[in-house]
């Protein structure tokens, strides 16, 4: 566990995946949801809340691959967006830990639109000057990589984690290309300039501490200073003497 | 055939119409609706992607910025356009044009027509997912009106990468899906032959998207489909674009951007 014991306060526990489209593939989606709920004890593929890490309060969002492959449906996207918006409003650093096969096909276009929703919310987080650390674990693929997971100010991946958009099998079927050794691994992405750091799990706490210390707002963010100044100027101006 | 079977067959007909080889492509609409289109090239980083094209054009004596996915008509053009599947360079060129549109206050008109972003080793090495994600952020916050028109296939993140905007319009026989039916069948049924069932389950037709509250308007096509009369299809699309652009023009920029945020924010919202 990365965070300080007892410091995590989960939000939106009650938000549950729902079968809006009435989707059935080899099994009904409603049944898949039930199975995932029973297997994980969670209502969705994501858990979020505020927590303390290395002395810093932050918003933590964690995806669970055991719940339908960590896929992003409407409820998943809703919870992630709620987490991002909390970080923006409370000016708390954001840490998202991803593990996902991508968009949840059983929710059709409602799932795809969550890419836009989460990314738009991160645009506002960035504009507010609140830092976002994205931790990519094995695997992080598809629409999740093509939205919030790759939008961190700092991208960290675990060693050997598979990270990408299209899967290797799909690429080979489409192009008959021979894929290079280590294709789509964390190390491969680091070499291609797509992520900042590859960090083994035992070293994560120290790296996150260093990052939070460096990026933490400490009430001194330029935005806040600006707002304070703006307030001062807005106050009744003292008589000007020349 | 069961009722479900005939519904699925009707949906599959829509998929085939959306992919009809004689269907008008982006450039057919662009030349049919606008004048003075000047195609700009290159992402200033790596190359020029012919699967995504764009540049300024005149629309009713004002300048707009066109961003479009372009498929090829002949064998050689199909190869040149990479079958309408863009690499990161296409999305980065689009981003360049979004920034330019903001700078000069040109409204953006985006034409979506792709089965998806290109699944290739090079695309992955050069960060296709990163390029799409950057566009989602840029489009969602861009301080100019943005109209999106799906003319054929809207395929997954590859379509969304130029498809975030203030209005989503769909040609009558276009489709828009989280995954193409073949990919969905292969992943969920582990059998590509189940593509017809997958197409029905995905709810990907224009009326489906309208019902889900995602599409604002369905633009009627000439009888039998847009392939039968490019002029009529372009006229109908042009009239709808004109009307929606006029309504967006009336909205103050701060409110426009806020309404766009809320447009996506409420999709799948629980409260």
For A194-208, the pLDDT digits (tens) are: 999 999 999 999 999
Q: Residues B27-48: what's their mean pLDDT?
A: 98
Q: What gap in Å lies between CA A17 and CA A132, rounded to an integer?
A: 26
Q: Residues B73-81: what's their mean pLDDT?
A: 97
Torsion of CA A167, A173, A177, A180, to 10 degrees: 30
CB contacts of A23 in chain B (<8 Å) are 201
pLDDT at A231 over 50: no
Architecture of the domain defined by B3-265: Alpha-Beta Complex (3.90)
Q: How confident is the model at residue B79 (pLDDT cuts 50, 70, 90)?
A: very high
The C-alpha of B203 sits at a distance from chain A's nearest C-alpha, in angstroms, of: 7
- Classify strands A46-53 and A9-11 as parallel, antiparallel or unpaired: antiparallel
Check CB contact under 8 Å for B123 and A122.
no
Closest residue to B204, CB basis, from A108, A146, A179? A108
Q: What gap in Å lies between CA A28 and CA A33, rounded to an integer?
A: 9
The C-alpha of A219 sits at a distance from chain B's nearest C-alpha, in angstroms, of: 26
Q: How confident is the model at residue A233 (pLDDT cuts 50, 70, 90)?
A: very low
Q: Chain B 136-175, CB below 8 Å of chain A: which residues?
A: 136-138, 140-141, 156-157, 160-161, 164
pLDDT at B17 over 60: yes
- Phi, psi (rounded to 5 degrees) for A235: -65, 155
The C-alpha of B231 sits at a distance from chain A's nearest C-alpha, in angstroms, of: 30
Give me the count of residues in chain A. Answer: 242
Please give the mean pLDDT across all residues of chain A: 91
pLDDT at A227 over 50: no
Check CB contact under 8 Å for A108 and B123.
no
Q: Which domains does chain A have, with CATH numbers?
A: 9-234 (3.90.226.10)
Check CB contact under 8 Å for B117 and A165.
yes
Of the candidates A156, A81, A75, A79, the residue with the CA atom closest to the CA atom of residue A123: A81
Per-residue confidence (pLDDT) for residue A132, from 0 to 100: 98
Q: What gap in Å lies between CA B6 and CA A235, rounded to an integer?
A: 70
Residue B196: burial class (beta carbons within 10 Å; 0-12, 13-18, 19+): middle
Per-residue confidence (pLDDT) for residue A217, from 0 to 100: 65
Residue of B nearest to A179 (CA): B121
Structure confidence by residue, pLDDT tens digits, A141-154: 999 999 999 999 99
Structure confidence by residue, pLDDT tens digits, B144-170: 999 999 999 999 999 999 999 999 999
- Phi, psi (rounded to 5 degrees) for A238: -65, 155
Per-residue confidence (pLDDT) for residue B1, from 0 to 100: 46
- ipTM for this model: 0.96
pLDDT at A232 over 50: no
Beta bridge partners of B155: B177
Q: How confident is the model at residue A218 (pLDDT cuts 50, 70, 90)?
A: low
Most B CBs within 10 A among A79, A105, A161, hence the mutation to make, goes to A105
Residue bearing tokens 């633009």: B219
Q: What gap in Å lies between CA A238 and CA B236, rounded to an integer?
A: 62
Most B CBs within 10 A among A22, A32, A105, A116, hence the mutation to make, goes to A116
Residue A1: burial class (beta carbons within 10 Å; 0-12, 13-18, 19+): exposed
Structure confidence by residue, pLDDT tens digits, B108-123: 999 999 999 999 999 9
Per-residue confidence (pLDDT) for residue A230, from 0 to 100: 47
Sign of CA dihedral A165, A168, A169, A170: positive
Structure confidence by residue, pLDDT tens digits, A156-209: 999 999 999 999 989 998 899 899 999 999 999 999 999 999 999 999 999 999
Most A CBs within 10 A among B264, B265, B271, hence the mutation to make, goes to B264
Q: How confident is the model at residue A26 (pLDDT cuts 50, 70, 90)?
A: confident
Q: What gap in Å lies between CA B198 and CA B255, rounded to an integer?
A: 39
Q: Residues B1-25: what's their mean pLDDT?
A: 90
Per-residue confidence (pLDDT) for residue A187, from 0 to 100: 98
CA B225 to chain CA mean position, Å: 18
Per-residue confidence (pLDDT) for residue A160, from 0 to 100: 98
Structure confidence by residue, pLDDT tens digits, B224-256: 999 999 999 999 999 999 999 999 999 999 999
């Amino acid at each position: 566990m990365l965070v300080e014991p007892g410091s995590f306060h989960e939000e939106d526990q009650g938000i549950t995946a729902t079968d809006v489209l009435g989707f059935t593939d080899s099994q009904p989606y409603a049944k898949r949801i039930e199975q995932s709920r029973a297997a994980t004890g969670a209502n969705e593929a994501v858990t979020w809340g505020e927590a303390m890490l290395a002395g810093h309060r932050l918003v933590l969002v964690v995806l669970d691959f055991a719940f339908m492959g960590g896929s992003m449906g409407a409820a998943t996207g809703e919870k992630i967006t709620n987490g991002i918006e909390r970080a923006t409003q409370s000016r708390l650093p954001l840490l998202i830990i991803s593990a996902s096969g991508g968009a949840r096909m059983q929710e059709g276009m409602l799932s795809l639109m969550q890419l836009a929703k989460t990314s738009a919310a991160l645009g506002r987080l960035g504009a507010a000057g609140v830092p976002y650390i994205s931790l990519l674990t094995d695997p992080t693929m598809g629409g999740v990589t093509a939205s919030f997971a790759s939008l961190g100010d700092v991208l960290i991946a675990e060693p050997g984690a598979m990270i990408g958009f299209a899967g290797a099998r799909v690429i080979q079927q489409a192009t008959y290309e021979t894929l290079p050794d280590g294709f789509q691994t964390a190390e491969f992405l680091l070499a291609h300039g797509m992520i900042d750091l590859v960090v083994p799990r035992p070293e994560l706490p120290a790296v996150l501490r260093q990052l939070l210390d460096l990026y933490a707002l400490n009430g001194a963010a330029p935005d806040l200073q600006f707002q304070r100044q703006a307030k001062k100027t807005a106050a009744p101006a003292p008589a000007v003497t020349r | 055939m069961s009722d479900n079977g005939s519904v699925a067959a009707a949906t599959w007909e829509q998929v085939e119409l959306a992919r009809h080889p004689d269907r008008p492509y982006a450039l057919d609409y662009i030349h049919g609706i606008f004048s003075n289109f000047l195609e700009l090239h290159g992402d200033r980083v790596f190359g020029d992607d012919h699967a995504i094209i764009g540049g300024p054009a005149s629309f009713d004596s004002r300048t707009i910025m066109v961003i479009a996915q372009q498929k090829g008509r002949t064998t050689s053009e199909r190869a040149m356009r990479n079958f309408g599947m863009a690499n990161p360079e296409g999305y980065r060129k689009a981003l360049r044009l979004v920034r330019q549109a903001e700078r000069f206050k040109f409204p953006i008109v985006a034409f979506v027509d792709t089965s998806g972003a290109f699944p290739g080793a090079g695309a992955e090495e050069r960060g296709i997912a990163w390029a799409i994600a950057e566009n989602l952020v840029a489009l969602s916050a861009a301080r100019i009106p943005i109209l999106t028109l799906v003319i054929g296939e809207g395929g997954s993140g590859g379509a969304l990468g130029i498809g975030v905007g203030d209005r989503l319009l769909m040609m009558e026989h276009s489709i828009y899906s989280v995954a193409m039916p073949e990919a969905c069948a292969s992943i969920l049924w582990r059998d590509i032959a189940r593509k017809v069932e997958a197409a029905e389950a995905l709810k990907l037709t224009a009326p489906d998207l309208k019902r889900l509250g995602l599409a604002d308007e369905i633009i009627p096509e000439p009888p039998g489909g847009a392939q039968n009369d490019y002029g009529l299809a372009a006229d109908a699309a042009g009239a709808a674009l004109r009307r929606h652009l006029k309504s967006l023009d009336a909205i103050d920029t701060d409110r426009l951007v806020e309404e766009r945020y809320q447009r996506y924010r409420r999709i799948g919202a629980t409260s």
